[in-house]
C-alpha cells in the first residue's frame, strides 16, 4: 500500500526500542494479526506548563490548594480537537479503525492488521523469544509524517513485552483455617526474627491509624496487570474479620478481565491489595483497574483511573513496577506516565507506588544499583519496606527490610537514586549521590515506608486458601492508600500531591517512626547500597507513619 498523500516521515523521539536481553527473533509477525495501538496526543498547553502547575500546587499548603475538576483539567490540559482530527484523518487514510478518542486522557485508540500497522508507522514487527517470555517487538523508532510529529507524544502497543512485576512476597505457608483463627493462634514471638503474621487492621493499630475514621466517602483505585478476585474470597475474609464486606468493582481497561484462578501468584497480588486497602479503610469504595502488563497497558491503566469520572478515586495504589536501566521503559512511556501523575496532582489524586522487593539491586544483577519505575516518578508517593522487630509478642521497633533477594528466597525494600528522573525541587538537600559510578543525583526513593517483611507479614485469603507471612512493598502501597483515604475523610478535601509537604513543613513534625537500623544492599557489598540514618534516607524514606499524628499535622496545614 502506498500513502494516499506521500510525505516525509520522521522518527518519533523517545520511541526507540532495543531487544530484551537474551532475546532472539523466531519469525515475522502474522500480517493478519489485529493490533490495537494507543496514540498519545500533545496537551493543548505545553508540557512545561503542566509540570510547573503541578509543582506550584504541590508547594501550597492544603488550605490554599484548589484542585481542578475533570472538566477543568480537560479544558486546560486535554488534547486540542484540531490535533485529534488531524491524527484521526491520517489513521483513516491508512484504513485503520478508530476505536476510541479521549480528549482528557489525550489518547486515540486505533486498530488494524499487523501489515497495515507496520506500513503506516514504518516499523518491522518480529516475534521474539526471550528469558522474559515470547513477545511481539521491533527495533529502532516509530515513524510518523513530519506534519504530525509535533502533535504526537507517544505510540504504544507495537511492542507487547512484559513490563510489569508485582512487588509481593507470597510464601508457601498456607492454612485452611479462617484468617481470624490464624491470628488468634499465632505463636508469641520471643525473638526479633521469629516469623509472625498479622491481619492488616493489626498493622494499622501498630501505626496508630486514626480509629474513628473509615475512609467513608472515598474511593481507592488499585492498578492490576492480570489475575483477579472472587466475591466469595472477599466476603469470607471480611466476615471473618467482623468488618463490612467492601464494595469492590472491577474495571477492564483494555479487555483484560477480572480472572481469578488463572494465575495464583498474580491473584495473590490482587487480593493483597484489596484486603489491605479495604480492611484498613472499610468505609471506602474499592475499584480495581485491570490492564495488560505491557507499556501500553501502563499508559492506559493509569490514565483511565486518574480520569475516571464515574468512580472519582481520590487515591491510587500501584504495587507493580519494573527496573530502571533496562530497555523496558522507553522515554515516551516515562513521559506519558509522569504527565498522568502530574494530572493526578492537579486533580487532587494521591498515587502510592511500591518501591520494589530486591533492595538496591532491584532484580537487575549487572553490578549497579537501581530503582523501580513508576516509584521513581517525582509525582508519586514511593512506599518502601521495613521489618517489624518483635519481642515478647510486642513491636519494639523497626529496621530496614533486608533478608536477601527474591531469587535467594528473601526480599529487601527497594530504594536508591533514580537514573531517569532528576531531583525534584522539594527533595533538594536530602538526596545523596548515587553509589553508582559517576555519583549523580536523581529523584530519591522511597518517600515513606511500612511493614513489608514476610517474617512480620500479612495474613490474606486468596483462591479460597489462607496465606500467612505475605510480604513485599505490595502491602505498603495499599496500606498508605488506606491511611490517606481516612485522612481525606477527616480533612474534607484530598491531600493530593503529598510529597512537597513531607519534605517541607512536615519534615520537622514528629509524625514518622524514623528507621535508623539496616541497609538495603541485598548483595552485602557486591553492588553497594544505602544505609538508614536519622531523617530521610534511600532505604525507608522518612519512615513508617504515626497515622493520628500525621493527620493532626495535616489538619493544622488545612487552616
**pLDDT digits 0-9 by tens, 78-108:** 999 999 999 999 999 999 999 999 999 999 9
C-alpha closest to that of 329 among 297, 361, 299, 373:
373
Note the pTM of the prediction, 2 decimals: 0.94
Write down the catalytic residue from 197, 360, 377, 474.
474
Per-residue confidence band for 435, with pLDDT thresholds at 50, 70 and 90: very high
Annotated active-site residue 231? The verdict is: no
179-213 pLDDT, tens digit per residue, is 666 554 443 333 344 478 999 999 999 999 999 99
What are the grid coordinates assigned to 368, written together?
A: 549497579
Contact present, 381 and 542 (Cβ < 8 Å): no
Determine which of 163-177, 208-222, 356-370 has the lowest per-residue pLDDT on average.
163-177
Contact present, 516 and 453 (Cβ < 8 Å): no
pLDDT at position 174 is 54
Contact present, 412 and 404 (Cβ < 8 Å): yes
Per-residue confidence band for 329, with pLDDT thresholds at 50, 70 and 90: confident
pLDDT at position 239 is 95
C-alpha closest to that of 514 among 493, 541, 476:
541
Mean pLDDT of the chain: 91
Task: Label residues 221-241 b or e (16+ Cβ within 10 Å = b).
Answer: bbbbbbbbbbeebbebbbebb
Q: Considering the chain, what percentage of its residues have pLDDT values greater than 70? A: 92
Annotated active-site residue 552? The verdict is: no
Is residue 61 predicted with pLDDT exceeding 70?
yes
What phi, psi does 358 have (nearest 5°)?
-130, 30
Q: What is the residue-wise DSSP string for 395-409?
A: EEEEEE-BS--GGGT
C-alpha closest to that of 289 among 318, 267, 309, 262:
318
Q: Which helix (H) or strand (E) holds 108?
A: strand 107-113
Write down the catalytic residue from 273, 295, 324, 357.
273
What phi, psi does 417 have (nearest 5°)?
-120, 125
pLDDT at position 191 is 38
What are the grid coordinates assigned to 134, written together?
A: 515470547
Is residue 396 predicted with pLDDT exceeding 50?
yes
Map residue 208 onto helix, strand or coil.
Answer: coil
512-531 pLDDT, tens digit per residue, is 999 999 999 998 777 889 99
458-497 pLDDT, tens digit per residue, is 999 999 999 999 999 999 999 999 999 999 999 989 999 9
Determine which of 262-271, 399-408, 417-426 has the lowest per-residue pLDDT on average.
399-408
144-174 pLDDT, tens digit per residue, is 999 999 999 999 999 999 887 788 887 644 5
pLDDT at position 393 is 66
For 89, residues 6+ apart whose C-beta sits below 8 A from its C-beta are: none
β partners of residue 174: 467
pLDDT at position 176 is 59
C-alpha closest to that of 225 among 106, 340, 326, 305:
305
Per-residue confidence band for 7, with pLDDT thresholds at 50, 70 and 90: low
Per-residue confidence band for 4, with pLDDT thresholds at 50, 70 and 90: very low
DSSP letter for 431, please: P
For residues 491 and 497, what is the distance between their CA atoms, to the nearest angstrom?
14
Is residue 366 predicted with pLDDT exceeding 90?
no
All structural domains of the chain with their residue ranges: 9-42+79-156, 165-171+199-557
Higher pLDDT, 271 or 47: 271
Beta strand 350-354 pairing with 315-318: parallel
Annotated active-site residue 474? The verdict is: yes
546-559 pLDDT, tens digit per residue, is 999 999 999 998 76
Map residue 500 onto helix, strand or coil.
Answer: helix
Is residue 345 predicted with pLDDT exceeding 90?
yes
Length of the chain: 559
HSE-CB of 362 using CA atoms within 13 angstroms: 29
C-alpha closest to that of 164 among 289, 297, 260, 39:
297
Contact present, 96 and 117 (Cβ < 8 Å): yes
C-alpha closest to that of 505 among 53, 50, 52, 63:
63
Contact present, 470 and 168 (Cβ < 8 Å): yes
Q: Which fold has domain 165-171+199-557?
A: Rossmann fold (3.40.50)
Query: Average pLDDT of 64-76?
Result: 96
pLDDT at position 548 is 98
Per-residue confidence band for 5, with pLDDT thresholds at 50, 70 and 90: very low
The CA distances from residue 388 to 244, 304, 352, 391, 470, in Å, are 28, 36, 21, 10, 14
Angle between helix axes 295-306 and 331-346 (nearest 10 degrees) is: 10
pLDDT at position 186 is 44
C-alpha closest to that of 357 among 305, 419, 312, 403:
403
Map residue 353 onto helix, strand or coil.
Answer: strand
What are the grid coordinates assigned to 499, written together?
A: 510529597
What are the grid coordinates assigned to 416, written together?
A: 536508591
Amino acid at each position: 500500500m502506498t500513502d494516499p498523500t506521500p510525505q516525509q516521515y520522521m522518527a518519533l523521539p523517545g520511541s526507540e526500542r532495543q531487544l530484551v536481553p537474551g532475546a532472539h527473533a523466531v519469525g515475522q509477525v502474522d500480517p493478519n494479526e489485529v493490533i490495537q495501538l494507543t496514540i498519545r496526543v500533545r496537551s493543548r498547553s505545553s508540557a512545561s506548563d503542566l509540570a510547573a502547575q503541578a509543582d506550584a500546587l504541590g508547594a501550597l499548603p492544603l488550605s490554599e490548594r484548589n484542585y481542578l475538576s475533570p472538566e477543568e483539567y480537560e479544558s486546560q490540559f486535554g488534547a486540542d480537537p484540531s490535533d485529534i482530527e488531524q491524527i484521526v484523518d491520517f489513521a483513516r487514510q491508512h484504513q485503520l479503525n478508530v476505536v476510541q478518542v479521549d480528549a482528557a486522557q489525550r489518547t486515540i485508540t486505533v486498530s488494524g492488521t499487523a501489515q497495515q500497522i507496520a506500513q503506516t508507522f514504518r516499523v518491522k514487527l518480529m516475534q521474539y523469544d526471550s528469558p522474559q517470555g515470547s513477545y511481539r517487538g521491533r527495533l529502532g523508532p516509530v515513524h510518523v509524517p513530519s506534519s504530525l510529529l509535533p502533535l504526537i507524544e507517544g505510540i504504544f502497543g507495537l511492542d507487547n513485552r512484559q513490563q510489569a512485576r508485582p512487588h509481593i512476597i507470597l510464601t508457601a505457608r498456607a492454612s485452611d483455617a479462617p484468617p481470624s483463627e490464624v491470628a488468634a493462634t499465632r505463636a508469641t514471638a520471643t525473638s526479633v526474627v521469629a516469623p509472625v503474621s498479622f491481619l492488616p487492621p493489626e498493622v494499622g493499630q501498630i501505626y496508630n491509624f486514626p480509629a474513628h475514621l473509615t475512609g467513608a466517602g472515598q474511593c481507592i483505585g488499585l492498578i492490576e496487570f492480570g489475575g483477579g478476585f472472587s466475591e466469595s474470597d472477599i466476603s469470607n475474609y471480611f466476615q471473618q474479620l467482623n468488618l463490612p464486606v467492601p464494595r469492590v468493582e472491577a474495571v477492564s481497561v483494555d479487555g483484560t478481565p477480572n480472572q481469578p484462578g488463572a494465575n495464583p501468584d498474580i491473584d495473590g497480588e490482587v487480593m493483597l491489595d484489596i484486603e489491605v486497602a479495604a480492611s484498613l479503610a472499610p468505609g471506602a469504595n474499592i475499584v480495581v483497574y485491570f490492564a495488560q502488563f505491557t507499556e501500553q497497558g501502563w499508559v492506559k491503566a493509569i490514565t483511565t483511573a486518574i480520569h475516571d469520572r464515574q468512580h472519582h478515586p481520590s487515591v491510587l495504589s500501584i504495587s507493580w513496577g519494573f527496573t530502571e536501566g533496562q530497555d523496558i521503559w522507553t522515554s515516551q512511556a516515562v513521559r506519558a506516565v509522569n504527565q498522568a501523575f502530574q494530572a493526578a496532582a492537579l486533580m487532587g489524586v494521591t498515587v502510592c507506588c511500591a518501591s520494589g522487593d530486591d533492595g538496591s539491586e532491584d532484580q537487575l544483577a549487572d553490578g549497579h544499583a537501581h530503582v523501580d519505575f513508576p516509584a521513581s516518578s517525582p509525582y508519586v508517593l514511593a512506599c518502601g519496606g521495613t521489618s517489624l522487630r518483635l519481642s515478647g509478642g510486642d513491636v519494639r521497633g523497626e529496621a530496614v527490610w533486608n533478608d536477601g533477594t527474591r531469587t535467594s528466597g528473601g526480599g529487601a525494600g527497594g530504594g536508591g537514586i533514580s537514573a531517569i528522573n532528576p531531583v525534584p525541587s522539594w527533595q533538594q538537600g536530602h538526596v545523596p549521590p548515587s553509589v553508582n559510578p559517576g555519583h549523580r543525583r536523581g529523584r530519591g526513593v522511597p518517600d515513606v515506608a511500612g511493614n513489608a517483611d514476610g517474617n512480620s507479614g500479612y495474613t490474606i485469603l486468596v483462591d479460597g486458601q489462607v496465606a500467612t507471612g505475605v510480604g513485599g512493598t505490595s502491602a505498603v502501597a495499599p496500606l498508605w492508600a488506606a491511611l490517606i483515604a481516612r485522612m481525606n475523610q477527616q480533612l474534607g478535601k484530598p491531600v493530593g500531591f503529598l510529597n512537597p509537604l513531607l519534605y517541607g513543613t512536615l519534615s520537622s513534625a514528629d509524625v514518622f517512626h524514623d528507621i535508623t537500623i539496616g541497609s538495603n544492599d541485598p548483595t552485602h557489598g557486591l553492588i553497594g547500597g544505602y544505609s538508614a540514618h536519622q531523617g530521610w534516607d534511600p532505604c525507608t524514606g522518612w519512615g513508617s507513619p504515626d497515622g493520628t499524628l500525621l493527620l493532626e499535622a495535616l489538619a493544622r496545614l488545612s487552616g
